Amino acid sequence: MQAQPLIIYIEDNLDNQRLVQRVLGARGYELLLAEDGPAGLALARAHSPALILVDLGIEGLDGYETTTRLKGMPHLVTTPIIALTADSSLGSRERALAAGCDGFLAKPIDVRLLPQQLAEFIGGKREALPSALEAPMLRAYSHKLVERLEQQVRELTAANAELQELDRLKSQFLGSLSHELRTPLTSMLGYLELLNRGMLGTLNEVQREAVAVMSRGAEQLSRQINNLLYLQEVRSAQLQRTPTSLDALLRRLSDEVAAQARHTDVALTLDLPQQAPAPIDADEQALSLGLRHLIENAVKFNASGGTAQVALSDEGERAVIRVADTGIGIPADALEKIFLPFYQVDSSLARQHAGSGLGLAIARHVVEAHGGQLTVRSALGLGSVFTAVFPR
Ligand code: ADP
């Protein structure tokens, strides 16, 4: 059986799409529809149609520009591209031919004639510009193209400037918000510490428990504010490098996250080399902020009964930290996005896990600032492994 000739029809009007579909379908053509220029170009790239029908009045990349682009595709050099337009003004046919069309059909579509007209173009018929008109029409068309380009560049530049300004305002807002929040929080943390130490009088059991709950909440708030401040300020500051022992650092961080792991019934394990590895030159505070997020996430995005393993290996020229979990895993299309500030796989208000989406952005930044690399492998529903490699 012979394959049906394929026609691509680029048209934004649904009624016209249906009409042409019905008429050509009845004549044994296969019709692929695109509702704008870019979609039509994508279809044309993926197929070798017998003919392309383009409505010149489509929005965005218009029919003329779409045709010019189609004509530039090597596999379509001999494919007839036929303009369809309601524009009956003087010179509209010539403008279409100058843009690269091989034929011109006026709207409204005459359904009795259309199949025969298209068959003629598929059979080899071509309309051409009279040679005397060719040069002036092409010049006029290229002027119009450059004008459109200029307009687009102007609009994009203005939109870009607006976005940069909005981004600057957002950073300024986040910066001042963090400062505003930190000042009162610092005094709260100070007084909570005094209460904890019994320096403001002896507390009974219930009061001690209440103060402990408030302290945990205030420390969590303080960490979130530090995350925001890190992205706003510390990121651009110089690292304060000193010899840092990674095993001691990981031991401390694991201890800090242990309560959270116990609370959610996740087995948190730490696997360190038998012999303490030589220290690396690092900013301990920044490193601890970044690595803590990896360990916290391995516990947080886990299920009751799961495991979170932190391992350090000394590989001569490099120290490698792996944080592996048996948690919910990360979808493949989110594996790079999770390192962007504020990105969360589940960003709905009803999500199960608290967080601001800054942890991994900070972790990656800190690791890279030390000349290292932070990568992830993950399988949805099975777990994830984050690997930080530090050169010595
Ligand atoms: P936060 O934890 O505050 O949401 P992060 O920047 O630390 O932000 O992480 C970004 C997102 O990446 C998380 O919201 C989560 O969707 C995903 N993610 C990070 N770590 C893990 C992990 N170990 N397992 C599954 N998903 C993770």
Mean pLDDT along residues 277-290 = 91
pLDDT at 228: 82
> In whole numbers, what is the pLDDT of the chain averaged over residues?
92
**In this predicted model, what pLDDT tens digit does every residue of 73-86 receive, in sequence order?**
999 999 999 999 98
Distance 291 CA to ligand 1 centre (A): 13
Distance 214 CA to ligand 1 centre (A): 26
Instruction: Please identify, by atom number, the ligand 1 atom nearest to the C-alpha of residue 343.
Output: 10
Query: Is 200 within 8 Å of 193 (Cβ atoms)?
Result: no
Distance 357 CA to ligand 1 centre (A): 7
More confident residue, 204 or 226: 204
DSSP notation for 32-98: EEESSHHHHHHHHHH---SEEEEETT-SSS-HHHHHHHHHTSGGGTTS-EEEEES--STTHHHHHHH
How do strand 318-325 and strand 242-244 relate by DSSP bridges?
unpaired
Distance 360 CA to ligand 1 centre (A): 7
Instruction: Please identify, by atom number, the ligand 1 atom nearest to the C-alpha of residue 357.
Output: 8
**In this predicted model, what pLDDT tens digit does every residue of 169-197 receive, in sequence order?**
888 888 888 888 888 999 999 999 999 99
Question: In the structure, what pLDDT confidence band is assigned to residue 215 with cuts at 50, 70 and 90?
Answer: very high
Query: Is 37 within 8 Å of 63 (Cβ atoms)?
Result: yes
Distance 326 CA to ligand 1 centre (A): 14
pTM above 0.75, yes or no: no
Laid out side by side, the sheet with 81-85 consists of 30-34, 6-10, 51-55, 81-85, 103-106
CA gyration radius, the chain: 33
Query: Is 96 within 8 Å of 67 (Cβ atoms)?
Result: yes
Ligand 1 binding pocket (C-beta < 6 A) is 293, 297-298, 301, 325, 327-330, 338, 343-346, 355-361, 384
pLDDT at 239: 84
pLDDT at 178: 83
> What is the phi-psi region of residue 118: left when phi exceeds 0, alpha when psi lies from -120 to 50, beta otherwise?
alpha
Mean pLDDT along residues 280-291 = 92
| 357 alpha-carbon distance from chain centroid | 14
**In this predicted model, what pLDDT tens digit does every residue of 33-89 receive, in sequence order?**
999 999 999 999 999 999 999 999 999 999 999 999 999 999 999 999 999 998 888
**In this predicted model, what pLDDT tens digit does every residue of 315-337 receive, in sequence order?**
888 999 999 999 999 999 999 99
- Please give the C-alpha separations between residue 17 and each of 20, 46, 335, in angstroms, as whole numbers: 5, 20, 40
- Give the residue whose CA is nearest to atom 25 of ligand 1: 329
Distance 65 CA to ligand 1 centre (A): 44
Q: What percent of the chain has pLDDT over 90?
A: 79
Question: In the structure, what pLDDT confidence band is assigned to residue 1 with cuts at 50, 70 and 90?
Answer: very low
Q: How many CB atoms lie within 10 A of CB 120?
A: 13
Question: In the structure, what pLDDT confidence band is assigned to residue 139 with cuts at 50, 70 and 90?
Answer: very high
pLDDT at 350: 66
Distance 338 CA to ligand 1 centre (A): 7
- Annotate 170-232 with three-state secondary structure: HHHHHHHHHHHHHHHHHHHHHHHHHHHCCECECCCHHHHHHHHHHHHHHHHHHHHHHHHHHHH
Query: Is 270 within 8 Å of 308 (Cβ atoms)?
Result: no
Q: How many CB atoms lie within 10 A of CB 107?
A: 15
pLDDT at 355: 80
- Give the residue whose CA is nearest to atom 1 of ligand 1: 357
**Ligand 1 pocket: which of 330, 358, 384, 387 to mutate (most atoms within 8 A of CB):** 330
Query: Is 196 within 8 Å of 207 (Cβ atoms)?
Result: no
- Give the residue whose CA is nearest to atom 16 of ligand 1: 345
Distance 25 CA to ligand 1 centre (A): 51
- Give the residue whose CA is nearest to atom 23 of ligand 1: 298
